[in-house]
Every structure is written in structure tokens, then in C-alpha cells.
Structure 1
Amino acid sequence: MVNLPMPPREVYDLIREGTAIVAHPLALTEDRRIDEARQRALTMYYLASGAGGVAIGVHTTQFEV
């Protein structure tokens, strides 16, 4: 059995209480490059709206990019 370290207490408590971890879309420019400003804006939006975290790279369309 693998013995992994526990997350920080506040993270552990948040997960145990229940939280939403949203799938984070990838913000791209027209030429399919990362749009850093829009990516940051999306992250700030999710966190400001109460998401407990964001999951990066989970959309299957991102695998092709």
C-alpha cells in the first residue's frame, strides 16, 4: 500500500465538507495559442463564484491541442 502525504488541513476539511472542483476550459487565441489574460480571467471567475478548485486538462478536446 502506498503511503501518500495528507493535504493541508484546510484542504482536507474543504473536501470532506463538500466542494465543487470544476473542469477548467482552455482559453486559446484564434491561432490556438494560450490566451494568458483570458485564462487568468476564467480562473478568477471560477474561484470568485465559489468553486473549491479547478481541474486543468480534463476536457478531451484539450488532448488534441
Structure 2
Amino acid sequence: MQNRWALTAPVTSEYNSAMQDFTELAYTTSPQHKDSTEVRIKRDASDLKKMQAQITTCLTIHS
């Protein structure tokens, strides 16, 4: 279940950003909630790629 969440988190963030652009509305949060900033989105995407590479490596080794 956690893997499914990890795989959908960047998609959800991109969808949120696209809907804000489309509707010309902006969702703002307090300073302690910075999960949807551009830097965080890029870091999450980078982390996801690293996890996918590691999982692929483990599956290749153990199969």
C-alpha cells in the first residue's frame, strides 16, 4: 500500500498544480506546509526515481 502511495504522490501534486493553473486559482498554505512547492515536487520526483531504480535492481538480483 505504501508503494502505491509513493507512486501516486508526484502525479497528485502535478494534477493539483495543473488544476490551479487551469482555474487561475491558487491554493495557499501556512509556512509550515510546504509539500506543494516546486522544489519539494522536484525532490519527491527525484526520490521516486531513486526508489524505482533500487526496486528494479533488487528484483533483477533476486529473480
* Structure with greater helix share of residues: 2
Task: Calculate the TM-score normalised by the size of structure 1.
Answer: 0.29
* Structure with greater strand share of residues: 1
Task: Calculate the TM-score normalised by the size of structure 2.
Answer: 0.30
